[in-house]
Structure 1
Amino acid sequence: MRKNQHQITGGSMNRELAVFVDQTTWPLPPELPQFPPTFTAGSQSFALNIPTLLLTIGYLTTPSHASGVSLSEFWAWVRYLHAIADDPDLRLTPAFFELDAHQKTILSDDFGMGVPIYWLMDRLQLGPIADGRYFIDRIAACVNATTLKPKKRGPGKSPDFVARDSTGIWHIIECKGTQTGGDYRKTQLGGLGPPPTGAVAQKRTIVFPAGYAGQRLACGLQIGVQGGKHASSLRVIDPPADEKFVVGPEQMIYADDAIIRAASARSLRLAGFGASSAAMSAPGGATPRSRPISGRYERMRRETVAEKQARATEELKNRRDRAAFTADKRRYLGREIEFDLPAPIVVGKRIVRSVRVRYGVGVDFLGQLSNHPLVDEPIQEVDDSTQAVKERTTIDAGRYSARMHVGEAFVSEIDLRA
């Protein structure tokens, strides 16, 4: 192998991941939630596909609501191709394991979100996924509720993700990642206290009514290094914790609105429709929490809404200027980007020198959205096309590629190219 070439492995982009599901942390029947029939208690092995993991990381780290540019939309997560060691199980190369503390934290957070959500997508038949913080802010604005702004860390932090599955059941997922070791993972997952700590305290910040509530998971990824004693492992638990933000049965219409907007806005941003994404995620003003007020601030809010609507309308009017492509016989508009890798990687007999990434939003979805790009009422009551976002999120892996679908509304693809 030539100098500066990184070997992925002999013909496979998969890595084995050790998973442990602690069934003892679930409540005993008849209490809910019940242990999922699609879960296997105890230790098990999971084949994790690297390109699919990269797509998942890129999708999850793109915020539902953001101003400006997010690096995760472009190249930051592609560099992780060089982070994966040439081992049959999931490990980091020593160079990435020895990054400075700030960069190690970013990598641990990214992998700590991407790996468990990837593992859960099929097992819970997940559909749209929303950032927990966005979800709380949007519902609070819809019901005119006064809530404490979620903290960025600690017990008051919102859970990482809220997800709705294909049957209409809602799940709360808190994700942790560390390169420090098993003892630190235990700290991250937390305990009952009092007061409750770590993921135990965060994952039930949002509580759904009976008949809608699903799993309340805390997932901890310990990331191993090449040559180290332990490979990477994922631990999944369901401990109880205090209830804080309660969504009542009469508010579920706003829960649907929040998660549809979150998934749609993220998809629009990735596909290059930034103005439409901003209008979708925060139709009432500058932030998802914006709502009608009084005095001069209300005038400023209305001016912000009008400006966002004008930008979104113009962007959707010119949507045909975007890159057009077909995936699974469906038509999409968005963008296509090809990156030269910092150094080639070897996958089997192929020397990969670049990566092509495509993001697209369905043509029909964009057409319907162009009729009313900015409405503050529940979006599913106005635009039937947004129901596509509530369908399953699916992932498919090829030998040198991967693809993610959010229903028929959004697609992302990654191809490793010679």
Structure 2
Amino acid sequence: MVKRNIDILVDTVSWGTKTIPSGILSLLSKPSIDVDLLDILIHVAKRTSPPISYGFTLGDLWAWLRYLPAFSNDSNLKLRKEWTNIDSHQKTILSDDMGMGFSSSILSKSLKLVFICPTNYLVDMHPSISLKKNGKRGPDKSPDFIAVDDFGGLHIIECKGTQDRKKSLDVQLKKGIPQKTNVLAPVGFINEQLVSGVFIPQYYKTDKAIFTITDPEFPMDFSNITKEEIIETIILGELASMVHLFGFPKLGNSIAKNQKLSDLNLDRIKREIESLDKVILEGKSFSKVEFLHKFDYSGFMSIEPYGIKVEIAFDTEIIKSLLKETNFLNIAREIREKIEKRQLIFIDNETGNNWTKVFMPIGSYIKLEIVE
């Protein structure tokens, strides 16, 4: 666990007469909270790993690991002074990724979100879902993510991030509002429609980091798709994203597209998985992959870190079932039914002095550890 402090602002007025979720209300009792940077990075990894990928995105290269040494050693969240000289494009990418990571981490806890997937994946899988507009950037683009909570409720999330100044975040949040309205859904179909964002100051800035949540009220209307279909697609998307992170892009794409792999590819993947290291957790065998990102940051956390190690693992039996499945929606349907019956098994996240492990209810986990 790597703790940093950040202010919290919830725009309660934006909810109007609607009830603010209890998990978000609990944030109002604290002007600031401690966040775990390792947990944030794990959520960046999950959100930047798309369900369908062809090997040329930053997420395919685990590029998110480079962010840990970008933060200062201050107790309040801010970037280190060396980051000031980084190219502006790199700064923009960090801001965008942190907007997703902070939103995913904090809202997952506050709203008890269990599965999240990109909205554009949902729309691609279900052409009957109509968007008012469908641009790639600006107000015409679809909101970033759609999520399902542990009660089966649906949530729309648009994420923002900046390291310029707090006012820049306010502007971004206002720009995010029309992106939310691009999804059409009947009243009551979507539980929350959130625009959230994070401001992380540069080293020499006097402003403190802040995470902001707002929920303007908008009419939305999904007309030609059931809620059950949406939930199953969200589950399918998150499962595919995790398989991509696990290092098997052909299997990830086949899950996301619900298409069976060729016998040749299946046999090859099976052999590769069988050759992976195994770890036993609660009597179950997990197949795992590891990667060490080395960096030089003297004095970080009052230690001399050698790097940051990521460990990604899947329940071996679940991976085997994926290799045998001919219709991946069957697996998504089973998980959805478990959510409805309150039978989905959750494992609490684990933390240590220099590490954090986040479990997913699809039988996988991601562990980040600072190595001395």
TM-score (norm 1): 0.79
Q: Retained in 2: the 8 A contact 1:128–1:393?
A: no
Q: Retained in 1: the 8 A contact 2:133–2:182?
A: no
Q: Retained in 1: the 8 A contact 2:134–2:140?
A: yes
Instruction: Tell me the CA shift for residue 385 of structure 1.
Output: 10
Alignment CA distance shift 1:348-1:232 (3 Å): closer
Partner of 1:159: 143
Question: Is 1:109 the counterpart of 2:96 in the alignment?
Answer: yes
Find the aligned partners of 1:263 and 1:280 in 2 and give their Cα distance.
Answer: 10
Partner of 1:186: 170
Q: Retained in 1: the 8 A contact 2:143–2:156?
A: yes
Partner of 1:270: 245
The amino acid across from 1:361 in the alignment is: F
Question: Is 1:118 the counterpart of 2:105 in the alignment?
Answer: yes
Q: Retained in 2: the 8 A contact 1:22–1:42?
A: no
Instruction: Tell me the CA shift for residue 367 of structure 1.
Output: 2.1
Instruction: Tell me the CA shift for residue 183 of structure 1.
Output: 2.2
Question: Is 1:38 the counterpart of 2:13 in the alignment?
Answer: no
Instruction: Tell me the CA shift for residue 253 of structure 1.
Output: 2.7
Q: What are the residue-to-residue correspondences of 1:339-350 with 2, within 5 Å?
A: 339-341=293-295, 343-350=296-303
Partner of 1:95: 82
Max radius of gyration: which structure?
A: 1
Alignment CA distance shift 1:310-1:384 (3 Å): farther
Q: Retained in 2: the 8 A contact 1:129–1:259?
A: yes
Partner of 1:405: 359
The amino acid across from 1:38 in the alignment is: G
Instruction: Tell me the CA shift for residue 35 of structure 1.
Output: 0.7
Alignment CA distance shift 1:172-1:158 (3 Å): same
SS of the residue 1:91 aligns to: coil
SS of the residue 2:206 aligns to: coil
Alignment CA distance shift 1:81-1:320 (3 Å): same
Find the aligned partners of 1:326 and 1:208 in 2 and give their Cα distance.
Answer: 44
SS of the residue 1:240 aligns to: coil
SS of the residue 2:312 aligns to: strand
SS of the residue 1:254 aligns to: helix
Instruction: Tell me the CA shift for residue 378 of structure 1.
Output: 5.9
Which of 73, 88, 101 in structure 2 is aligned with 1:86? 73
Q: Retained in 2: the 8 A contact 1:166–1:392?
A: no
Q: Which runs of 4+ in 1 moved over 4 A?
A: 145-149, 207-212, 376-379, 383-394
Question: Is 1:221 the counterpart of 2:198 in the alignment?
Answer: yes
**Structure 1, 17-26 or 327-336: larger mean CA deviation:** 327-336
Find the aligned partners of 1:265 and 1:376 in 2 and give their Cα distance.
Answer: 10
Q: Retained in 2: the 8 A contact 1:335–1:358?
A: yes
Instruction: Tell me the CA shift for residue 250 of structure 1.
Output: 5.2
Alignment CA distance shift 1:128-1:376 (3 Å): closer
Q: Retained in 1: the 8 A contact 2:286–2:314?
A: yes
Partner of 1:230: 207
Find the aligned partners of 1:384 and 1:100 in 2 and give their Cα distance.
Answer: 43
Alignment CA distance shift 1:234-1:173 (3 Å): same
Question: Is 1:50 the counterpart of 2:58 in the alignment?
Answer: no
Find the aligned partners of 2:30 and 2:369 in 1 and give their Cα distance.
Answer: 32
Question: Is 1:258 the counterpart of 2:258 in the alignment?
Answer: no
SS of the residue 2:55 aligns to: coil
Alignment CA distance shift 1:322-1:88 (3 Å): same
Alignment CA distance shift 1:334-1:385 (3 Å): farther
Alignment CA distance shift 1:392-1:131 (3 Å): farther
| Percentage identity across paired residues of the two chains | 23
Which of 292, 295, 314 in structure 1 is aligned with 2:267? 314
SS of the residue 1:370 aligns to: helix
TM-score (norm 2): 0.88
Which of 183, 201, 205 in structure 1 is aligned with 2:182? 205
The amino acid across from 1:154 in the alignment is: G
Instruction: Tell me the CA shift for residue 209 of structure 1.
Output: 4.5
Partner of 1:287: none
Aligned length: 366
Alignment CA distance shift 1:247-1:311 (3 Å): farther
Alpha-carbon deviations, 1:50-91, whole Å to 9, x = none?
211221112211112111254334442222122111211100
Find the aligned partners of 2:16 and 2:203 in 1 and give their Cα distance.
Answer: 38
Find the aligned partners of 1:137 and 1:391 in 2 and give their Cα distance.
Answer: 29
From the two aligned structures, give the one with the greater strand fraction.
Answer: 1
SS of the residue 1:56 aligns to: helix
Instruction: Tell me the CA shift for residue 205 of structure 1.
Output: 2.8
Find the aligned partners of 2:181 and 2:331 in 1 and give their Cα distance.
Answer: 26
Alignment CA distance shift 1:280-1:75 (3 Å): closer
Alpha-carbon deviations, 1:99-126, whole Å to 9, x = none?
2221111010011111122111211111
Partner of 1:195: none
Instruction: Tell me the CA shift for residue 155 of structure 1.
Output: 2.0
Question: Is 1:380 the counterpart of 2:332 in the alignment?
Answer: yes
Alpha-carbon deviations, 1:115-169, whole Å to 9, x = none?
12211121111101101111221122xx5x6768832212221111111010110
Instruction: Tell me the CA shift for residue 14 of structure 1.
Output: 0.5
Q: Retained in 2: the 8 A contact 1:253–1:378?
A: no
Instruction: Tell me the CA shift for residue 331 of structure 1.
Output: 2.4
The amino acid across from 2:150 in the alignment is: S
Q: Retained in 2: the 8 A contact 1:283–1:375?
A: yes
Find the aligned partners of 2:177 and 2:131 in 1 and give their Cα distance.
Answer: 21
Alignment CA distance shift 1:251-1:91 (3 Å): same
